[in-house]
């Protein structure tokens, strides 16, 4: 949606009259909180509100445009006041009471605090009456709000984790992707939200569902699911244990081995692997990585014509495993020797320290 505001604009009174008249003519409007104006900086909101009303007037009869807005106030009294204040009749203006300041503040997006906005946006996301376009805008608003650490932690306080996680089972891939993205944003470098998520990890829409979506056919969904998983498990032992319990390791090697996997997806899978190895690594985990062919998958990425980001990340992960006493089998040793040959050809692009460590494999 276009957030640019045009220059100029009319006064608030006729704008309000036009807005209210449209509301009364249309009947029940789409409930879309927070207001459009609240998506802009405070200093821009009056101008935004003017533009919004003018824009609404221009699209009133256009059925192809679905424009979200909120009109949650005493319609009739406010309409009477706005009409009276456009009149030349001084007596009429004097008799008409001023509108409630709180209602005016709500119209201009100034009265709704962020926790309330979070609840309102989630109400839009979960409403069966709202169309997909408006749900996606609400999800965008919700994610912007939870980029703030306090708001992310408020997801639990506001009892919004359950409705958020329910969107993982939506029939609409775009809503699934947004839900994954919000989970990732909320838990990123945030131990409290990590633990809040893990309270729901064993549920129908918990860790198992995220692992399933990480292998989804939709590129957008699997990218966002892997992003969420990486942020849940990073430096979180309980998160890694849940990831292992639900066979999370099984999604990594297929992504790295597939020629159909785009580089962006491979980088995300490497980021997830790196995050899952950020907690203490025991011998059982090392054996699991070997059994699942994860190390072979990493070594296969190290080639001159490969993606430098994937090469650097794969090399770093292999050397990290070596620091935890990983024992290479004979086939892996041959692959390490081949990887060293490839890395020698690109010395100026990779870590010299990692190269020396790999050379130590006999």
| Gap between the Cα atoms of 138 and 315, Å rounded | 41
Task: Dump pLDDT digits (tens) for 56-89.
Answer: 444 344 444 333 333 433 456 667 777 777 777 7
Question: pTM (2 decimals)?
Answer: 0.71
C-alpha dist (Å) from residue 360 to 213, 282, 294, 355: 39, 22, 20, 9
Of 3-7, 14-18, 200-204, 217-221, minimum mean pLDDT range: 3-7
| Gap between the Cα atoms of 294 and 254, Å rounded | 9
- pLDDT value, residue 105: 60
Distance between first and last Cα of the chain:
58
Whether 36 contacts 68, CB under 8 Å: yes
Residue of higher predicted confidence among 48 and 235: 235
- pLDDT value, residue 70: 36
| Gap between the Cα atoms of 113 and 116, Å rounded | 5
Task: Dump pLDDT digits (tens) for 173-197.
Answer: 999 999 999 999 999 999 999 999 9
Residue of higher predicted confidence among 78 and 142: 142
- pLDDT value, residue 32: 36
C-alpha dist (Å) from residue 78 to 15, 75, 81, 335: 12, 5, 5, 75
Task: Dump pLDDT digits (tens) for 95-136.
Answer: 777 766 655 565 555 557 899 999 999 999 999 999 999 999
What does the block give as tokens for 181?
Answer: 């993205």
Residue 314 buriedness (CB in 10 A; 0-12 / 13-18 / 19+): buried
Of 103-117, 188-202, 245-259, 280-294, minimum mean pLDDT range: 103-117
Whether 292 contacts 250, CB under 8 Å: yes
What does the block give as tokens for 332?
Answer: 């892996």
Residue of higher predicted confidence among 65 and 235: 235
| Gap between the Cα atoms of 272 and 211, Å rounded | 11
Q: Which CATH architecture has domain 114-278?
A: Alpha Horseshoe (1.25)
Q: Above pLDDT 90, what percent of the chain?
A: 62
Whether 174 contacts 132, CB under 8 Å: yes
């Amino acid at each position: 949606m276009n957030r640019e505001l045009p220059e100029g604009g009319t006064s608030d009174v006729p704008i309000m009259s036009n807005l209210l008249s449209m509301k009364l003519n249309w009947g029940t409007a789409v409930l879309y909180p927070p207001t459009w104006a609240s998506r802009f900086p405070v200093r821009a909101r009056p101008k935004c509100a003017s533009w919004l009303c003018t824009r609404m007037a221009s699209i009133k009869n256009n059925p192809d445009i679905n424009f979200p807005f909120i009109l949650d106030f005493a319609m009739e009294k406010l309409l009477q006041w706005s009409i009276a204040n456009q009149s030349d009749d001084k007596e009429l203006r004097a008799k008409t009471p001023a509108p409630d300041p709180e209602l005016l503040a709500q119209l201009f997006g100034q009265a709704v605090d962020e926790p309330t906005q979070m609840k309102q946006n989630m109400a839009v996301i979960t409403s069966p009456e709202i169309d997909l376009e408006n749900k996606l805008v609400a999800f965008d608003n919700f994610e912007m709000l939870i980029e703030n650490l306090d708001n992310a932690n408020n997801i639990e306080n506001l009892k919004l984790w359950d409705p958020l996680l329910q969107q993982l089972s939506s029939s609409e891939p775009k809503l699934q992707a947004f839900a994954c993205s919000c989970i990732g944003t909320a838990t990123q470098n945030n131990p409290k939200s990590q633990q809040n998520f893990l309270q729901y990890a064993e549920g129908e829409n918990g860790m198992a569902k995220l692992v399933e979506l990480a292998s989804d056919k939709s590129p957008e969904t699997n990218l966002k699911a892997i992003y969420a998983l990486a942020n849940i498990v990073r430096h979180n032992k309980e998160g890694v244990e849940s990831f292992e319990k639900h066979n999370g390791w099984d999604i990594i090697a297929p992504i790295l081995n597939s020629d159909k996997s785009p580089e962006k997806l491979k980088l995300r899978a490497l980021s997830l692997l790196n995050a899952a190895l950020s907690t203490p690594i025991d011998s059982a985990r090392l054996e699991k990585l070997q059994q699942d062919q994860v190390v072979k998958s990493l070594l296969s990425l190290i080639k001159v014509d490969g993606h430098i980001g994937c090469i650097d990340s794969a090399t770093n992960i292999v050397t990290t495993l070596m620091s935890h006493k990983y024992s290479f089998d004979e086939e892996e040793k041959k692959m390490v020797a081949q990887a060293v040959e490839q890395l020698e050809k690109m010395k100026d692009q990779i870590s010299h320290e990692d190269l020396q460590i790999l050379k130590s494999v006999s």
